[in-house]
């Protein structure tokens, strides 16, 4: 296959997946995140691998990208960013505990949990979302493939319904930027 054909095939798959996304689900998730911001609650975000990178990106875009120059700020914590904590829990307990144990330290009523998992079945992600649900917190799942357990478990979910990890991760980053731009517009006159 020629490079141009490979490029076209990949970009066509991304475009098709974007077209298939539920605009109502995106709007609903954006609304939930914005309500958390308005209520001065904390947003916790996490995932593994590429999803960990996207979690960090989400935290950056909301904490700096949307909040810079504003009196009222987003409060977003990526549970993937403290390697000492992650490796301590992994070594002393299990990698399955790295997110739930951090939530046990920090999660308060009204806080929001955003979990990313391409497969929707990452054990450490599922355990943390189950914990947050049991505490009465709102949970959002961003998934790929068929959504796995996370799609069913999260109170709100957006699924990039494609059997491709890379495109699922691309879609999650597109969702981040889409929602960020909604907030930038909503807050453009805020100081």
pLDDT tens digits for range 25-52: 999 999 999 999 999 999 999 999 999 9
C-alpha distance across the termini of the chain, in Å = 53
**Secondary structure letter of residue 96 according to DSSP:** G
For 179, residues 6+ apart whose C-beta sits below 8 A from its C-beta are 26, 29, 30, 33
pLDDT at 1: 66
Spans of the chain below 50 pLDDT: none
What CATH number does the domain located at 3-186 have? 3.40.50.10490
At residue 88, the pLDDT reads 98
Residue 87, both tokens: 């490796």
- pLDDT at position 185 is 93
């Amino acid at each position: 296959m020629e490079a141009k054909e490979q490029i076209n095939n990949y970009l066509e798959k991304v475009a098709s997946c974007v077209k298939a996304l539920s605009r109502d689900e995106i709007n609903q998730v954006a609304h939930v995140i914005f309500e958390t911001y308005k209520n001065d609650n904390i947003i916790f975000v996490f995932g593994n691998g590429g999803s960990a990178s996207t979690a960090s990106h989400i935290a950056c875009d909301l904490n700096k990208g949307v909040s810079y120059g504003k009196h009222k700020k987003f409060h977003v914590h990526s549970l993937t960013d403290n390697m000492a904590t992650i490796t301590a829990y992994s070594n002393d307990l299990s990698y399955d505990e790295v997110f739930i144990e951090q939530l046990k330290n920090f999660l308060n009523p009204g806080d929001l949990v955003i979990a990313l998992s391409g497969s929707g079945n990452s054990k450490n992600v599922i355990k943390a979302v189950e914990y947050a649900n049991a505490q009465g917190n709102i949970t959002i799942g961003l998934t790929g493939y068929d959504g796995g357990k996370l799609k069913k478990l999260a109170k709100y979910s957006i699924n990039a319904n494609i059997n491709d990890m890379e495109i699922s991760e691309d879609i999650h980053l597109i969702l981040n930027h889409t929602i960020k731009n909604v907030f930038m517009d909503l807050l453009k006159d805020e100081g």
